[in-house]
Chain A
Amino acid sequence: MSSPTKLITGLACVLALAASAPAEVKVGQPFPSLAGYALEGPLPPLAGQVVLVDFWATWCAPCKASFPAYSELARELAGRGFVLLAVSVDKTRGPYDEFLQRFAPAFPTVRDGAQKLVAEVQVPAMPTSYLIDRHGVLRAVHSGFHGADTVRSLREEIIRLLEEKP
């Protein structure tokens, strides 16, 4: 291999590595274990539960709209083997605390301050929620929050998963 060819190949490899990113988690694949990402805040028991992981941020307007609706959903399905876990991607603690004080969600929240989990999952938009079945497999992804439509389809999918045999 001549020197210019080696140079071109080397530069192409460097650029390819720089451009590479973790693959997006797809429906049917296992969702990453949340315990391995040093999330700030206590994680609720998730084993054997139907889990909705919602990625949000204090600076995201649709996320603000989603919180009251998700609180209502969490209250409605509480005690049936369903956990709604909100994962904030805020890098700083202050706005996160203020937001939680203001909205007082009826579901647990944690903060992915280092943005490792969100980068691993490759969230396509803010907010995005991931519905995971009792075996930890991703079953549905909801990108964005579209008010009553999102809540209606989420409720149907969650109830369907809750009715599946463990």
Chain B
Amino acid sequence: MKRRQLAFFVLAGLTALLAGCSTVHPWERATLADYAMRPDRDPVHNTMMEHIYFSREASSGGRGVGGSGCGCN
């Protein structure tokens, strides 16, 4: 492949990658501020994840709850 062609493809690739970058302005954050974007929006799912973290991660006292991490809870 000629050097010129290689340079073209490298630059085209870089341009495509850079075109994917975007800044979300403060006035465009309506969707990000929506309740649905919160990771803790579902209390049942949240409780389940807390339990998994507590019992499987060997995190003694993890998230404010005492435990040995034995997975027997």
- Chain A residues with a Cβ under 8 A of chain B: 3-4, 7-8, 11, 14-15, 18, 55, 57, 59-60, 89-91, 115, 118-119, 122-126, 128
Query: Which of B7-15, B38-46, B54-62, B63-71 interfaces with chain A?
Result: B7-15
Q: Are B25 and A60 in contact (CB under 8 A)?
A: no
Q: Pick the most buried of B27, B28, B29, B33: most chain A CB atoms within 10 A of its CB.
A: B27
A14 to B15, CA, bound (A): 9
**Further contacts, 7 of them, CB under 8 A, given A15-B15, A89-B27:** A4-B4, A8-B11, A11-B11, A15-B18, A59-B29, A122-B25, A123-B25
B72 within 8 Å of A by Cβ?
Answer: no
- Chain A residues with Cβ below 8 Å from B4 are 3-4
Interface size, B (range): 10 to 19
How many residue pairs at the A-B interface have CB separations less than 8 Å?
40
B19 within 8 Å of A by Cβ?
Answer: yes
Nearest CB of A to B66, in Å: 34
Q: Are B8 and A7 in contact (CB under 8 A)?
A: yes
Nearest CB of B to A63, in Å: 11
Q: Are B25 and A119 in contact (CB under 8 A)?
A: yes
Q: Are B30 and A57 in contact (CB under 8 A)?
A: yes
Q: Pick the most buried of B11, B15, B26: most chain A CB atoms within 10 A of its CB.
A: B26
A126 to B24, CA, bound (A): 13
- Chain B residues with Cβ below 8 Å from A115 are 27-28
- Chain B residues with Cβ below 8 Å from A60 are 33
Q: Are B11 and A55 in contact (CB under 8 A)?
A: no
Given contacts A4-B7, A124-B26, contact A59 B34 (CB under 8 A): yes
- Chain A residues with Cβ below 8 Å from B29 are 59, 126
Given contacts A4-B4, A4-B7, A7-B7, contact A90 B15 (CB under 8 A): no
Q: Are A7 and B27 in contact (CB under 8 A)?
A: no
Nearest CB of B to A29, in Å: 20
- Chain B residues with Cβ below 8 Å from A125 are 26
